[in-house]
Amino acid sequence: MSVQPEQEKQYFSTQDSQSDFNKKVNVNDLMSRMNETKKQEKKNNIILSAAAISAVTVFGIILTL
């Protein structure tokens, strides 16, 4: 016979769900997070482009030899 662990049940009170709806969104926090994400994406794109150009250059040099 196999032993199955008991499933934990989570109960949420109505007070917890109401407090989630009453939280305000900080627009400045969202804007700063968006700017950080854009900077990271731009950095990743530059690195990927440099790697692709380097690979094409090395491949071209090998072909000319």
Domain residue spans of the chain: 27-64
Overall average pLDDT of the 59-64 stretch = 95
Q: How many Cα atoms within 13 Å fall on the side-chain side of residue 60? A: 6
Total Cβ atoms within 10 A of residue 21 = 6
pLDDT at 59 over 60: yes
Calculate the CA dihedral of residues 50, 54, 57, 61 and round it to 10 degrees: 170
Residue 44 CA to its chain's centroid (Å): 13
The whole-number pLDDT of residue 23 equals 79
d(CA 49, CA 19): 46
